[in-house]
């Protein structure tokens, strides 16, 4: 991550502003976050409703609600995952928009994915089933880290946690990516080729981040004195 692009740099830039400007930009940021989260909650609720109305038996209704809420939150996860890499490789209006609103987008994803949690818990209760241990560890761990990321998505936590903030958010975002990629890989190679575009989207997003990291890696012998 470039220094100017890092959460620490953005947080200290805000502190350097005069108090009145700081209050204005803080309340703008809060209303952006609120707007994004409200839109995500509405979208996820509609996805759940669509899934629920597509099934016939109660357990199938909730299974489909879980399916469509996960799909909806994946559509928010992707821009969060690639924003910074995209902006480094090919900066433009859209990539700058995403980078500037990355915190609001991340919290919107957390909101939408919480609706997936509600749907999947309801599915398990209605169907009388219990997820296997691997799902509980992989998926449950992903939720724990997602909530930790959401709770620390503020300037005070960025300053307090320092480098650990970056470690937590990096681990979390790759963990979430892994669960999405694994879910779609399993479905694609398990006889459901219709999921291939979603798996390909997850792989392409990872490739973008790898390309951006390689481009900005300092090369040995190229440093200026």
Residue 118 binds to ligand HEM (criterion: CB under 6 A): no
Least separation in angstroms between CB 162 and ligand HEM:
27
Nearer to ligand HEM, 56 or 223 (CB): 56
Which positions from 121 through 180 interact with ligand HEM, judged by CB under 6 A? Answer: 123, 131, 135-136, 139-140, 142-143, 176, 179-180
Alpha-carbon distance of 88 to 4, in angstroms, equals 12
Distance between CA atoms of residues 146 and 107, nearest Å: 9
- Chain position whose Cβ is nearest to ligand HEM: 139
Q: What is the gyration radius of the CA atoms in the chain, in angstroms?
A: 19
Structure tokens at 102: 């990355």
- The owner of tokens 């969060």 is 80
CA atoms of 107 and 115, how far apart (whole Å)? 13
Residues 184-213 that bind ligand HEM (CB under 6 A): 184
In the complex, the smallest distance separating the C-beta of residue 143 from ligand HEM, rounded to whole angstroms, is 6
Contact (CB, 8 A) for 126 and 59: yes
Q: Does 70 bind ligand HEM (CB under 6 A)?
A: yes
Q: Distance of CA 203 to CAs 9, 29, 84, 127, 178, Å?
A: 30, 31, 16, 33, 10
| CB closer to ligand HEM out of 29 and 45 | 45
Of 180, 187, 104, nearest in space to 138 by CA:
180
Cα→Cα distances 169→70, 147, 175, 223, Å: 20, 11, 10, 29
> Of residues 36-65, which lie at the interface with ligand HEM (CB under 6 A)?
63
Tokens of residue 127, six digits: 């169907």
Binding residue for ligand HEM (CB under 6 A) from 52, 61, 67, 102? 67
Q: How many residues lie near ligand HEM (CB under 6 A)?
A: 21
For ligand HEM, the closer CB: 37 or 179: 179
* Residues within the interface to ligand HEM (CB under 6 A): 63, 66-67, 70-71, 74, 116, 120, 123, 131, 135-136, 139-140, 142-143, 176, 179-180, 183-184
């Amino acid at each position: 991550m470039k220094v100017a692009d890092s959460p620490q740099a953005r947080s200290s830039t805000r502190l350097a502003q005069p108090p009145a400007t700081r209050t204005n930009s803080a309340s703008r940021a809060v209303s952006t976050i609120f707007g994004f989260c409200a839109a995500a909650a509405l979208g996820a609720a509609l996805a759940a409703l669509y899934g629920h109305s597509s099934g016939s038996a109660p357990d199938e209704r909730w299974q489909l609600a879980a399916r469509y809420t996960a799909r909806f939150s994946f559509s928010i996860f992707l821009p969060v995952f690639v924003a910074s890499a995209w902006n480094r490789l090919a900066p433009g209006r859209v990539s700058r928009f995403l980078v500037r609103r990355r915190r609001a987008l991340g919290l919107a994803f957390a909101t939408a994915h919480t609706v997936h949690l509600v749907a999947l818990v309801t599915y398990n209760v209605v169907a009388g089933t219990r997820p296997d241990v691997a799902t509980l560890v992989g998926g449950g761990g992903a939720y724990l880290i997602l909530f930790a990321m959401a709770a620390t998505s503020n300037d005070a936590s960025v300053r307090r946690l320092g480098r650990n903030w970056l470690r937590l958010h990096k681990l979390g975002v790759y963990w979430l990516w892994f669960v999405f990629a694994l879910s779609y890989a399993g479905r694609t190679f398990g006889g459901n080729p219709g999921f291939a575009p979603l798996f390909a989207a997850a792989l392409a997003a990872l490739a973008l981040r790898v390309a951006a990291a390689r481009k900005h890696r300092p090369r040995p012998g190229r440093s200026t004195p």
